């Protein structure tokens, strides 16, 4: 871990002003501190934002505004979230541990970095860590890596569970920065690696997340967060599915589907969602959507199984959502 | 309680007041309140902190090490490398610790050669840990890298029979009969290839050593080790110190599983730096660095079984190829178990090594048995299906009544039949429908599997001290470690029973080289070895106290022979005449002595070992529920029926088995160190990505201890540290087959293997 300056911001404006090259905002620190211990992140300055008044969860139009500093636990156990956005609650509780969720912030969750082995290991090359050094995950240990939207420079995945739900719920990220305030639709918040895998999001330098807005609740009945992993708890997703449906009788009126563990960002395919809409909520419809989604998948040397797993997980997730039987958090049996 | 003291009880604890009863571990409160200190937690005045710089390459040479930036950081005391290290001994034999395999042990910072990825190449020592860690990131090392060879499959053609055999490890016996011919002509045949992933021990406590330089120039060393005598011998041999110049302690271990059997490089580095700087130094490895020494090497195994239609085995061939390092020939017993478990007239067992550019593998809980028994017990399940027999019936059909790998010597005891019977009853095995894929619960397929477990029952030469003081307190101990198994507790039970005291009046001390010597805690031999030594020392104290008692004025024990003495409730009384008694405290006070003390030694019973072979056995039953579509396996029930001689403490014993079973579930479903062969590096080197079971993975585990009388040692114990894990993975693979019809022969059974 390198030496760094530490400043504490009292207001959002102060925080933005304190930002400069090599600075990082720190809230829960559950990922940043790890990365600093690994010398992956070497900030010259840490700007402590934990005193900013951004931890409220409050009504916002017909939706809900979640302050960037609301902890993952606070969001998950908020009654309004549980009632109106149970998909979000379930996604949060499918991740990390109680201790981590008590510390981790909403904004920080959006900024989690990949768990790619090579990214974490400074003895190896990594384009995300050291642009231009190469990507040993390609042709290497990549069973946990991406099958969608990869580039020849990076095949890393985005690790968050919460973000998969936020993508399906079409949240909006409110940010504040040197150029003022702006809103970023969730689907445009994270980015694909392309030629610049070192950049995970479309935040401009110095921009700080202040809130995440949830639109009006539409999926309190038909939803699920189905997470498949290498053990039954406390592991990152190999494939996860956030599925949300509005049904009109047995017909799908609206479908939202986001996948985790398979791409550099929460993966959505609007064509597949459109394909479901107006169709009967049957396994056949779900299979057609799943087939369309995975038709774009590109396997690496060791993660070809994820294509099949994703296809099956999508179908199961949609079945759970349609039946109104979301994946239980305590019973590890998959319904 | 019995009140007879027959002559035989001279060699036992005499009465079982505490022995055989469930007792909470006496070190529990200290551990859960944080009072228990571990090797990396002991403080010393002026303590400096070392941080290891690890090699980025697996094979090649160090071209240069530029430490100038690191040295310039305020607070940095020294950067040690192969270029400036102080001199130590250089002969291999000085570095060979008590359990070293044949070869030339690794020496940190010895020269510019790199033998494995993660090899220590520099030690940065600073006033505090954070400074050392930061400065370590500034050490710039350039390498001339060569292509490493770490792929066991690719290098299989280079396999060799190790010329030097590892002490205590039986090489495969010579073949008997003609396995190949018998296989070719067998009416029923099964053959397959099996493998287990590379696994790392991953105890909660990372390896650490604190070397304290005392004012008189001696060293007090706290080392993460499963037996301090090994570190002590290593330090004196490597650094040319006299035995009394070094004291090594390790009162507690935060898990070892074998990773702490050999002194590891952090001990060498801490002592090197302490000598160089003439001040106390601590070196603690990071979690990632826990992948830079010792591991369970994957083994590539093949098994061929031939049988008559009635299940009689006619041919058994079991071969294994296992990795070792370039510098040592680590060996374990992988294939012999097949020959021990089953009676067969034509058997060929083979075991060879392949040199890899990795650290030397090492003993990891039930080394070799986990690996080999997984393979043979999976193959036996395949044979059960091939013959249409019940898997238990097939095993009983070929049940070995003597050890064919040891010229047919009988077993000292073997209650494996009872294990099957009691385990099957508890599990409900009789209700099993043999056909795979016959039971479904909702979306899940349900499967039941069974397997056998086996481990050697060993005893090692051990000594122990017992000291009784006039305040009625008894202190016992030796240098072995309690590696979390309950050794403190069982030794306290044994000591209390031997002298008829309460457990509260006994203090057990372990993990200190000032105590009588005992071997490392491993191999499941500690209960037998240290337990017998403590019992003998206490017995000796009893004899001495008895003599003093008899010599008392108006002694109630006058003219009584020792074999009529009964020790109970803090008193010595006369068998059959309980009115005649005297308190131990009174005796010591009357005699005016400040203590009665004895040091006794215990070792293997040569006559017994001449006549018998000694093993523990188990029958493991597993229930799995498999969501076939999504490749998810849940191990919903395990019954492990254990025959391991006398159970000293059913509570800590059960914990031992539970831990073994959980580790077995990890081995079956999760644990896998992933080697990137292009760079010879384990890549998932942290607990986030190397998966061990968490609570959610564990459902019901039922442990049964089957009564078994054994006479290998006076206590009748056989040891429990390893048996819980052995065979567990096979019971699970067999259950997965029963559930799904898919035979998985390569562990772990991750999602991708079931899709």
Transcribe B662-678 into DSSP letters: HHHHHHHHT----EETT
Whether residue A332 and residue B696 make contact (CB cut-off 8 A), yes or no, is: yes
CA distance A2 to chain B (A): 5
Tell me the average pLDDT across B622-630.
Answer: 97
> Can you list the domains of chain A with their CATH numbers?
5-51 (3.30.43.10), 223-323 (3.30.390.50)
Residue B213 zone, left/alpha/beta (φ > 0; ψ -120 to 50; rest): beta
Q: Do B134 and A136 touch (CB under 8 A)?
A: no
Task: Report DSSP letters for B307-329, one per residue.
Answer: E-TT--EEEEEEEEEEEE-SSB-
pLDDT digits (tens, 9 = 90+) for B85-144: 999 999 999 999 999 999 999 999 999 999 999 999 999 999 999 999 999 999 999 999
Count of alpha carbons within 13 angstroms of residue B60, beta-carbon side:
19
pTM, full prediction: 0.97
Pairing mode, strands A23-26 and A45-48: parallel
pLDDT at B287 over 80: yes
Q: A238 contacts in B (CB within 8 Å)?
A: 751
Q: Is the pLDDT of residue B11 over 80?
A: no
Chain A residue with minimum CA distance to B133: A1
Interface touch B625/A333, C-beta < 8 Å: yes
Structure-block tokens of residue B52: 């290891």
Residue B262: predicted pLDDT: 98
Chain A contact present for B684, CB below 8 A: yes
Q: What are phi and psi of B204, to 5 degrees?
A: -60, -40
Residue B653 contacts residue B271 (beta carbons within 8 Å): no
pLDDT at B10: 34
A55-104 pLDDT, tens per residue?
999 999 999 999 999 999 999 999 999 999 999 999 999 999 999 999 99
The continuous run of DSSP H or E covering A184 comes out as: strand A180-185
Residue A335 is predicted with a pLDDT of: 86
Instruction: Provide the percentage of residues in chain B whose pLDDT is more than 90.
Output: 97
pLDDT (tens digit per residue) in B374-421: 999 999 999 999 999 999 999 999 999 999 999 999 999 999 999 999
pLDDT at position B5 is 35
The question of ipTM being above 0.90 is answered as yes
The residues, ordered by sequence, that sit 6+ positions from B252 with a Cβ below 8 Å of its Cβ are: B27, B30, B31, B36, B37, B38, B482, B511
Asked whether B467 and B217 are in contact (CB, 8 A), the reply is no
**Which residues of B are designated catalytic?**
722
pLDDT digits over B490-539, tens only? Answer: 999 999 999 999 999 999 999 999 999 999 999 999 999 999 999 999 99
- pLDDT tens-place string over residues B293-316: 999 999 999 999 999 999 999 999
Which among B537, B540, B518, B539 has a CA at the least distance from the CA of B529? B518
- CB spacing of B56 vs A124 below 8 angstroms: yes
**pLDDT tops 70 at residue B599:** yes
Query: Is the Cβ–Cβ distance between B111 and B82 less than 8 Å?
Result: yes
Q: What is the DSSP letter of B326?
A: S
| Nearest-angstrom CA–CA distance, A213 and B222 | 54
Token pair for residue B292? 């830079």
B443 in A contact zone (CB under 8 Å)? yes
Q: Is B599 exposed, middle or buried (0-12, 13-18, 19+ CB in 10 A)?
A: middle
φ and ψ of A229, to 5 deg: -150, 180
Distance between CA atoms of B569 and B573, rounded to whole angstroms?
A: 10
3-state secondary structure of B424: helix
**Joined tokens for residue B262:** 């050999």
Greatest CA separation for chain B: 85
For B554, residues 6+ apart whose C-beta sits below 8 A from its C-beta are none
Phi, psi of B646 (to 5 degrees): -75, 140
A residues 63-122 closer than 8 Å to B (CB): 115, 117-118, 120-121
Q: What phi and psi values does residue B342 have, to the nearest 5 degrees?
A: -125, 140
Tell me how far apart the alpha carbons of residues A113 and B343 are, in angstroms, rounded to a whole number: 56
Q: Please say whether the beta carbons of B49 and B291 come within 8 A.
A: no
Structural tokens at position A114: 């990949």
B46: phi > 0 → left, psi -120 to 50 → alpha, else beta; which? left
Minimum distance, in Å, between the CA of residue A112 and any CA atom of chain B: 14
Tell me the two tokens of residue B128: 């505090």
Q: Which residue of B has its CA nearest to A329?
A: B696
The owner of tokens 């909470």 is B24
Q: Do B676 and A140 touch (CB under 8 A)?
A: yes
Distance CA B262, CA B239 (A): 17
Helix (H) or strand (E) holding B409: strand B409-410
Q: For residue B56, which residues of chain A lie inside 8 Å, CB to CB? A: 123-124
Note whether B432 contacts A: Cβ–Cβ < 8 A. Answer: no
pLDDT tens figures, B689-732? 999 999 999 999 999 999 999 999 999 999 999 999 999 999 99
Cβ pairs A/B, distance under 8 A: 105
pLDDT at B13: 56
Q: What number of CA atoms fall less than 13 Å from residue B187's CA on the CB side? A: 7
Q: Please name the residue of chain A whose CA is at the shortest distance from the CA of residue B142.
A: A123
Strands B615-627 and B444-456: antiparallel
State how far the Cα of B89 lies from the Cα of B749, in Å rounded to an integer.
Answer: 46
Q: What is the Cα–Cα distance from A164 to A71, expressed in whole angstroms? A: 17
Contacts B202 to A, Cβ<8 Å? none
- Cβ–Cβ under 8 Å, residues A309 and A238: yes
Check residue B9 and give its pLDDT. 36
Sign of the torsion angle spanned by Cα atoms B691, B694, B698, B702: positive
The residues, ordered by sequence, that sit 6+ positions from B517 with a Cβ below 8 Å of its Cβ are B229, B462, B463, B478, B479
Q: How far apart are CA B121 and CA A195, in angstroms?
A: 35
Parallel, antiparallel or unpaired: strands A63-67 and A180-185: unpaired
CB contact under 8 A, B627 and A39: no
Write down the pLDDT at residue B578: 87
What is the model's pLDDT at position B3? 36
Whether the pLDDT of residue A330 is over 90: the answer is no
Q: CA A173, CA A58: separation in Å to the nearest integer? A: 15
Q: What is the pLDDT of residue B333?
A: 98
- pLDDT tens string B78-91: 999 999 999 999 99
* A283 contact B CB<8A: no
Using CA atoms of A119, A124, A128, A131 in order, give the dihedral in degrees to the nearest 10.
Answer: 170
Closest alpha carbon to B128 in B282, B251, B271, B5: B282
| B130 contacts A312? CB cut-off 8 A | no
Phi, psi angles (nearest 5°) of residue B14: 90, -60
Rg (CA), chain B: 27
| Beta strands B120-126 and B76-81, pairing class | antiparallel
Q: C-alpha B213: how far from its chain's center?
A: 31
C-alpha neighbours within 13 Å on the C-beta side of residue B9 = 22
Arithmetic mean of pLDDT over chain B: 96
Chain B hits for A235, CB-CB cut-off 8 Å, are 688, 691
pLDDT at A237: 98
Q: Is A2 near chain B, with CB under 8 Å?
A: yes
At residue B14, the pLDDT reads: 62
Nearest one of A29, A30, A25, A21 to A8, comparing CA atoms: A25
Average pLDDT of the residues in B643-652: 97
Among B687, B680, B288, B297, residue whose Cα is nearest residue A140: B680
For the record, the structure tokens of B641 come out as 């029926």
Nearest C-alpha of chain B: how many angstroms from A230? 6
Rounded CA gap, B574 and B31, in Å? 41
Mean pLDDT of B60-71: 98
Whole-number pLDDT of residue B15: 73
Whether B682 shows a pLDDT value over 70: the answer reads: yes
Q: Using the beta-carbon criterion (under 8 Å), do B683 and A121 form an inter-chain contact?
A: yes
Q: What is the distance between the alpha carbons of residues B534 and B512, in angstroms, rounded to a whole number? A: 15
Helix (H/G/I), strand (E/B), else coil: B523: coil
- Kindly state the helix (H) or strand (E) to which residue B302 belongs, with its residue range: strand B299-307
Query: Rounded to 5 degrees, what angle do the CA atoms B713, B718, B721 make?
Result: 140
H/E stretch holding B494: helix B487-499
B421: Cβ contacts below 8 Å, ≥ 6 apart: none
Token representation of residue B30? 């200290």
pLDDT average, residue stretch B484-492: 97
Task: Using the structure block, give the residue that is written with the tokens 């997984």.
Answer: B374
Residue of chain B minimizing CA distance to A310 = B630
Express each pLDDT in B315-354 by its tens digit.
999 999 999 999 999 999 999 999 999 999 999 999 999 9
How far is it, in rounded angstroms, from Cα B740 to Cα B719? 36
> Which tokens go with B308?
């008559």
Residue B437: CB atoms within 10 Å: 17
């Amino acid at each position: 871990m390198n030496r760094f300056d530490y400043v504490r911001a009292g207001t959002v404006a102060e925080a933005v002003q304190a930002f400069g090259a090599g600075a990082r905002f720190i809230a829960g620190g559950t990922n940043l501190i790890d990365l600093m211990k690994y010398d992956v992140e070497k900030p010259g300055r840490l700007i402590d934002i934990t005193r900013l008044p951004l931890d409220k969860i409050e009504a916002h139009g017909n939706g809900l505004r979640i302050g960037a500093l609301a902890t993952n636990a606070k969001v998950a156990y908020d009654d309004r979230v549980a009632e109106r956005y149970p998909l979000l609650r379930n996604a949060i509780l499918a991740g990390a541990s109680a201790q981590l969720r008590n510390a981790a912030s909403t904004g920080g969750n959006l900024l989690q970095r990949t768990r790619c082995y090579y990214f974490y290991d400074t003895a190896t090359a990594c384009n995300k860590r050291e642009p231009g050094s190469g990507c040993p995950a390609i042709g290497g240990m990549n069973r946990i890596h991406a099958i969608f939207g990869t580039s020849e420079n990076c095949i890393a995945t985005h690790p968050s569970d919460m973000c998969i739900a936020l993508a399906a719920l079409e949240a909006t990220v409110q940010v504040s920065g040197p150029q003022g305030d702006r809103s970023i639709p969730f689907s445009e918040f994270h980015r694909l690696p392309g030629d610049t895998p070192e950049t995970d999001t479309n935040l401009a330098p110095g921009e700080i997340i202040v809130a995440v807005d949830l639109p009006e609740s539409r999926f309190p009945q038909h939803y699920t967060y189905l997470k498949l992993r290498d053990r039954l708890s406390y592991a990152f997703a190999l494939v996860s599915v956030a599925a949300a449906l509005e049904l009109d009788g047995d017909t799908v009126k609206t479908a939202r589907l986001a996948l985790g563990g398979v791409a550099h960002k929460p993966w959505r395919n609007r064509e597949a969602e459109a394909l479901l809409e107006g169709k009967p909520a049957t396994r056949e419809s779900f299979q057609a959507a799943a087939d369309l989604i995975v038709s774009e998948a590109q396997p690496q040397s060791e993660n070809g199984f994820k294509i099949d797993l994703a296809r099956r997980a999508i179908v199961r997730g949609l079945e759970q959502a349609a039946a109104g039987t979301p994946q239980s958090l305590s019973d590890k049996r998959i319904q | 309680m019995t009140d007879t003291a027959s002559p035989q009880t001279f060699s036992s604890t005499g009465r079982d007041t505490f022995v055989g009863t469930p007792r909470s571990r006496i070190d529990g409160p200290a551990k859960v309140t944080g009072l228990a200190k571990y090797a990396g937690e002991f403080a010393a005045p002026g303590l400096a902190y070392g941080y290891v710089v690890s090699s980025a390459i697996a094979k090649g040479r160090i071209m240069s090490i530029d430490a100038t930036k690191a040295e310039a950081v305020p607070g940095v005391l020294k950067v040690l490398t192969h270029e400036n290290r102080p001199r130590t001994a250089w002969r291999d034999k000085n570095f060979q610790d008590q359990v070293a395999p044949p070869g030339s042990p690794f020496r940190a910072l010895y020269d510019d050669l790199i033998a494995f990825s993660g090899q220590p190449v520099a030690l940065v020592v600073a006033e505090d840990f954070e400074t050392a860690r930061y400065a370590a990131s500034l050490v710039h090392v350039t390498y001339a890298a060569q292509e490493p060879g770490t792929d066991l499959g690719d290098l299989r053609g280079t396999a060799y029979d190790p010329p030097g055999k590892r002490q205590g490890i039986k090489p495969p016996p010579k073949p008997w009969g003609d396995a190949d011919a018998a296989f070719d002509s067998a009416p029923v045949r099964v053959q397959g290839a099996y493998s287990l992933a590379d696994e790392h021990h991953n105890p909660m406590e990372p390896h650490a050593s604190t070397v304290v330089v005392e004012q008189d120039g001696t060293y007090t060393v706290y080392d993460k080790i499963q037996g301090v005598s090994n570190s002590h011998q290593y330090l004196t041999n490597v650094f040319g110190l006299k035995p009394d110049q070094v004291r090594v302690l390790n009162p507690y271990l935060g898990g070892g599983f074998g990773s702490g059997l050999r002194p590891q490089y952090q001990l060498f580095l801490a002592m090197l730096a302490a000598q160089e700087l003439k001040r106390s130094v601590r070196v603690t490895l990071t979690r990632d660095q826990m992948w830079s020494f010792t591991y369970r090497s994957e083994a590539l195994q093949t098994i061929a079984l031939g049988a008559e239609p009635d299940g009689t085995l006619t041919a058994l061939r079991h071969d294994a190829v296992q990795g070792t390092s370039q510098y040592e020939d680590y060996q374990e017993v992988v294939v012999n178990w097949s020959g021990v478990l089953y009676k067969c007239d034509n058997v060929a067992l083979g075991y060879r090594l392949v040199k890899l550019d990795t650290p030397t593998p090492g003993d990891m809980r039930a080394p070799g048995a986990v690996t080999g028994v997984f393979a043979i017990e999976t193959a036996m399940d395949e044979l059960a299906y091939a013959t249409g027999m019940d898997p238990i019936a097939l095993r009983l059909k070929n049940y070995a009544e003597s050890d064919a790998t040891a010229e047919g010597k009988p077993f000292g005891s073997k209650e494996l039949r009872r294990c099957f019977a009691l385990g099957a009853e508890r599990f409900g095995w009789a209700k099993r429908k043999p056909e795979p894929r016959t039971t479904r619960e909702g979306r899940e397929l349900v499967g039941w599997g069974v397997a056998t477990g086996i481990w050697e029952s060993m005893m090692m030469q051990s000594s122990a001290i017992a000291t009784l003081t006039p305040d009625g307190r008894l202190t016992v101990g030796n240098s072995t470690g309690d590696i979390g198994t309950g050794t403190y507790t069982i030794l306290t039970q044994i000591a209390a029973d031997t002298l008829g005291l309460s457990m509260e009046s006994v203090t057990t001390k372990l993990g200190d080289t000032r105590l009588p010597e005992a071997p490392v805690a491993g191999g499941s031999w500690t209960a037998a070895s240290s337990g017998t030594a403590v019992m003998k020392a206490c017995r000796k104290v009893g004899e001495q106290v008895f003599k003093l008692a008899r010599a008392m004025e108006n002694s109630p024990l006058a003219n009584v022979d020792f074999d009529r003495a009964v020790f109970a409730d803090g008193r010595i009384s006369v068998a059959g005449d309980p009115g005649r008694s005297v308190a131990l405290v009174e005796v010591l006070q009357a005699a005016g002595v400040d203590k009665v003390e004895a040091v006794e030694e215990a070792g293997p019973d040569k006559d017994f070992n001449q006549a018998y072979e000694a093993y523990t056995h188990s029958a493991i039953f597993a229930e799995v529920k498999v969501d076939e579509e999504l490749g998810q396996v849940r191990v919903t029930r395990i019954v492990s029926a254990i025959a391991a001689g006398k159970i000293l403490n059913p509570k800590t014993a059960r914990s031992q088995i539970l831990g073994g079973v959980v580790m077995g579930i990890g081995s079956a479903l999760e644990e896998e160190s992933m080697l990137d062969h292009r760079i010879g590096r384990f890549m998932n080197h942290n607990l986030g990505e190397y998966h061990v079971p968490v609570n959610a993975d564990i459902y019901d585990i039922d442990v049964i201890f089957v009564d078994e009388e054994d006479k290998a040692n006076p206590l009748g114990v056989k040891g429990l540290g390893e048996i819980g894990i052995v065979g567990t993975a096979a019971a699970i693979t067999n259950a997965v087959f029963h559930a799904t019809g898919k035979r998985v022969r390569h562990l772990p059974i991750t999602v991708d293997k079931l899709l």
